[in-house]
């Protein structure tokens, strides 16, 4: 599983974060949960392990 953050393209705000098999699945699940049309969502894969190890001094 990969971790995705899903953004609403209209508001440019994150609307969901979670694990899915693909970006398409992340957009589909976020659409179902939020009621936002799937074409208005952008899913970006994030690497939480990398964020945690490189994001701190």
Please give the Cα distance from 4 to 7 (Å, whole number): 10
Look at strands 41-46 and 13-20 and give their pairing.
unpaired
Instruction: Classify burial at 49, counting beta carbons within 10 Å of its beta carbon; exposed 0-12, middle 13-18, buried 19 or more.
Output: exposed
Structure tokens given for 55: 């994001």
Q: CA-CA distances (angstroms) from residue 44 to 3, 16, 19, 57?
A: 8, 11, 11, 25
Instruction: Note the pLDDT of residue 51.
Output: 59
Q: pLDDT in tens for each of the 57 residues of the chain? A: 999 999 999 999 999 999 999 999 999 999 999 999 999 999 999 987 775 666 655
């Amino acid at each position: 599983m990969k971790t995705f953050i899903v953004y609403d393209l209209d508001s440019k705000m994150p609307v969901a974060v979670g694990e899915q098999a693909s970006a398409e699945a992340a957009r589909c699940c976020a659409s179902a949960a939020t009621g936002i049309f799937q074409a208005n969502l952008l899913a970006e894969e994030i690497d939480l392990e990398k964020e945690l190890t490189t994001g701190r001094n």
